[in-house]
Structure 1
């Protein structure tokens, strides 16, 4: 199996349009023609927001940002507008308004600590922050530390102390246009930077993935072709996407998955989206007691990512969503989202499969010796796609490691069957995924080493039924701490709790040591000092295996 390919793309992709020009100013053969179907539905009020209002709010915000803050296209030392917010009806207009002005957008997790947000601000050189009212204090503290004036923090929602997005929109609408939107040259959309979305890459702190305007446009058209949008391929009731449908916006918009699929694909398909939807948000739907209070028979399409759907879980989902098509997809921030999806001829995707390659994607499976794997042989998945990111912002070494000769080295071990179903077997890179979020062990290790009782540490993933996997830390104690523990066994629990609290206090919630802390005499390393993480990962899985702790007692 030297290479396998998705079917060719069957429509042209414009390479001279920005993201808002593609979505707000143009048409594509794959795109259904909307009539009065809403683009967004405000969850709290039920207010429908249509095309004209979206377009007007985008213009008003762009004009206001230009007049009041001087946001514009920079020739050198480009900086970003950073959005620090949970889902909001003006999230998309904020992105598109910045792009109208030629600017770059970086999206941040609204649960970040001050330190985590400060790091992202510094990497992308943010000069303006749009934060939700619930995240304002963190944004202000991080801005002060970064040297950003407080009047350059704008609030989604109401605020008594900061300018609001609504006030900037109204200011922009009251004034004559202060900017001239630039039309890109042919091919320029492939290189003009639109988004800086953070990913942990292979190791270390999160890295800013550099995404062009062209990449998400390509990926949306790839997905639209894969799921046969605007094709009369089946009876209306069985078609996966239908004009006027409503999508529950439960995925966080700052994450590449929702940024491309939740906002832009749904918009392209003529589907209205409900940001901040309360539809069983964040719950284990198949067994949560709240399920009995809802009629879920109206759900027609469900796609899952981040961790494999077991046959048992699919079976339980079909019981409570009897009319839904259910399956999986796979992608990375570095691929600007989707690489594969379950096809439309499967009402229920193959259990455990990440689907089949999207149109225009080419894949190789490379074995550890560098040779190409055959069908049913494991190896690292490497892909080519016109949607690939440009690399890592300001980090050439990491870019060269991950993007090699036009191929994206995913770091995921896969098996591809003869029927082209892709199965993710393991992660070859050190990054773990907790509920779909990337967690770099090295980042947590750096935090743990700041604890006064810790001499050395290694963080590894352990399986978890809900989160997929969670971090567990093996810790070597300083002599003084080890002596305390030896004298009083009760001290061990106190030290472990203190280490876990230290991480919780300094990192976002999903990076907490939910797998626990285990003391160890020495961290295994090779002669060059590299952590032998796989040895400890295997040991951790043995510790956490059913019955292991009971047998240990």
Structure 2
């Protein structure tokens, strides 16, 4: 099955520095003066004009020679890679755009990294310089010594530390010295913009290369979808207000807050990192209209004991991405939001810059658009897809296979990883590793990750299917669940399904033994025998997830297998 997007084609990607699309567009001259950023912790505001001026001065500082008080980043012949290791802030966006304008590639480093993860990221990206928050400086310095990164090339973002230059200091020096401002450097479609690390749910993360052409085409896709949506919904004239807590070091947060935020005036209340209690206070305080979330956050929100007392009346749009959102959780979110709030989800991955599938509102696409329960939507503009079976043949309608994607927003590959490139990027197609089906109308449905699918008695078993059945128990006994394969099959290499669950208030009241019994009976009523959780059902306090909301099944499996080994030795 080979399908192309229903949307009109976006403009083709060009040899252009993407900075020139983000800033200086003709439509921006008509924008009102507005606040683009509010720091949740300090309540400090920054206007769009102030942000723009700060980016211009940062670019001037980076571009200018050392003798003139500049930093001389990215001079001809140099091979720079700038690391950014910080929680969310307004200056994170400043730094990102100054580096893009200067055609100096950067690596998005998670500030939550362990020492082992940080060493891997530093080594893989081959950092030449690093911007880091003061609170993470000691951590970064200890790792930088192992890769030979000089302390003089480690700078501060979001404060000042003696002995290190800071982003704020560079801007102030540029202003004092009247360093002349410069236009963005020329760039080609193939010019490397940044590296973003894959989630690493199985093995070490890979560094995904994203080019200026990738970013540019992704923005064009967003513009086409926005124009199509505007045909069926009327947007208020006021500036929307978004709660911005997704980490900017991840594709979802980077694009939502640093890139797509520049398509139209919008205010972003910046949270350094996720805190549900702070978020519940911020929504009514700032009259939040838009929230982009990940499934693990949606789960926290809908199950929070105080959620029924929080004023959510300002919400207009709620979106979920980065991982699969179970329909039962989506329905709970819809029930909490005002009746006319748009609650939607999409599908994407860093390898396709940001997104590949989006839900469409009723009436869009000349009447073809509609919200289909359980669907992740249709292809974004300019995208092609195939659904491929294990034997390499094309799937038919409603048949599950691996999703392959092709478009100008697809990454050219992984940084310094030819082995992964050969297995993931094939003849212009991105093999996503995710299993989907598509119906006759062109709507896609997520099944599971290919590597998470189990073979039980020779038949394929989807963990997601089992999870959805357990979540659908009429007594609402659990708030979250994950299923994975563990030892216990008929052969030494066959795995059987095991479920890890988090009890709801109703579940806690009923008690663990009764809940396990009830769920076991429920699954046996609703699933074929080979799909039953023969590996057991275990109550846990927490299901481990990555910062982007992907369930780390391997953590639970490893812990279970270790216990199994210990028991067998006794």
Q: TM-score, normalised by structure 2?
A: 0.72
Q: Summarize the alignment of residues 517-532 of structure 1 with structure 2, pairs less than 5 Å apart.
A: 517-519=559-561
- The alpha-carbon deviation at position 146 of structure 1 amounts to 1.8
Partner of 1:547: none
Give matches, 1:248-287, under 5 Å.
Answer: 248-276=243-271, 278-280=278-280, 282=297, 284-287=300-303
SS at match of 2:348: strand
1:303 aligns with 2:292: no
Shift of 1:218: 1.4
Q: Deviations over 1:47-102 (max 9, x none)?
A: 332232112111222333444543115546x3311111111111111011112222
Q: Where does structure 2 lack aligned partners over 5 or more consecutive residues? A: 273-277, 281-292, 364-368, 455-462, 472-477, 489-543, 566-570
1:392 counterpart = 2:409: no
Deviations 1:212-233 (A, max 9, x none): 0121221122123224378353
Secondary structure of the 1:513 match is: helix
Distance in 1, Cα, partners of 2:485 & 2:60: 49
Tell me which residue corresponds to 2:382. 360
**C-alpha displacement at 1:14, in angstroms?**
5.5
Q: Secondary structure at the match of 2:314?
A: coil
1:484 matched residue in structure 2: none
Residue 7 of structure 1 corresponds to which residue in structure 2? Answer: 7
CA separation of 1:229 and 1:183: change in aligned 2, threshold 3 A: farther
Aligned-partner SS, 1:191: coil
Q: Secondary structure at the match of 1:314?
A: helix
Deviation at 1:38, TM superposition (A): 2.4
Q: Residues 263 and 349 from structure 1, CA distance in 2 versus in 1: closer, same or farther, beyond 3 angstroms? A: farther
Local SS of the residue matching 1:364: strand
2: distance between equivalents of 1:229 and 1:269? 15
Asked if the contact 2:323/2:347 (under 8 Å) is kept, the reply is no
Instruction: Show CA shifts across 1:158-216 (max 9, x none).
Output: 334333322222112222336854543xxx53100001111158964211111101212
Contact persistence 1:101–1:179 (CA under 8 A): no
The 8 Å contact of residues 226 and 359 in structure 1, kept in 2 or not, is answered as yes
CA distance in 2, matches of 1:413, 1:309: 15
Q: Which residue of the partner structure matches residue 25 of structure 2?
A: 26
Q: CA-to-partner distance for each residue in 1:318-357, whole Å, 9 max, x for gaps?
A: 2221242111100111000110111122899433211111
Return closer, same or farther for 1:236/1:357 CA change in 2, 3 Å cut-off: same
1:391 to 1:27, Cα distance in 2 relative to 1, 3 A? farther
SS state at 1:424 partner: strand
| Match in the other structure for 1:479 | none
User: Residue 443 of structure 2 aligns with which residue?
Assistant: 421
Instruction: Provide the residue aligned with 2:169 in structure 1.
Output: 167
Change (3 A) 1:243 1:336: farther
- Report how far residue 4 of structure 1 moved: 3.7
Counterpart check, 1:340 vs 2:337: no
| Change in 2 beyond 3 A, CA 1:466/1:94 | farther
Q: Distance in 1 between matches of 2:264 and 2:428?
A: 30
- Residue 37 of structure 1 is matched in structure 2 by 34
The alignment of Structure 1 onto Structure 2 pairs a total of residues equal to 455
Matched position secondary structure for 1:261: helix
What CA deviation, in whole Å up to 9, does each residue of 1:258-282 have, x standing for no partner?
A: 1112321122132222221742494
Q: What secondary structure is seen at the aligned counterpart in 1 of 2:175?
A: helix
Offset at 1:299?
Answer: 1.0
Change (3 A) 1:97 1:473: farther
Aligned to 1:406: 428
* Aligned match of 1:70: 72
Distance in 1, matches of 2:308 and 2:388, equals: 46
Give the corresponding residue for 1:95: 96
1:236 paired with 2:231, answer no
**Secondary structure of 1:236 counterpart:** coil
**Residue in 2 that maps onto 1:142:** 143
Check the 8 A contact 2:60/2:182 in 1, yes or no: no
Identify the residue that residue 57 of structure 2 maps to in structure 1. Answer: 60
Equivalent residue for 1:533? none
Provide the rounded CA distance (Å) in 1 between the counterparts of 2:206 and 2:234. Answer: 45
Tell me how far apart the structure 2 counterparts of residues 6 and 177 of structure 1 sit (CA, whole Å). 49
Alpha-carbon distance between aligned partners in 2 of 1:377 and 1:264, rounded to the nearest angstrom: 36
Q: 1:254 offset after TM fit, Å?
A: 0.5
Deviation for aligned residue 1:393: 1.1
**Shift, 1:369, TM fit:** 1.3
Q: Measured at CA, do residues 341 and 131 of structure 1 come closer, stay the same or move farther in structure 2, by a change above 3 Å?
A: same
Is contact 1:121–1:146 with CA below 8 Å preserved after alignment? yes
Distance of aligned partners of 1:474 and 1:84 in 2 relative to their CA distance in 1, 3 Å threshold: farther
Distance of 2:270 and 2:556 partners within structure 1: 29
What is the distance in 2 between the residues matched to 1:404 and 1:251? Answer: 31
Distance 2:563 2:147 in 1: 40
Which is further off, 156-165 or 135-144?
156-165
Matched, 1:193 2:192: yes
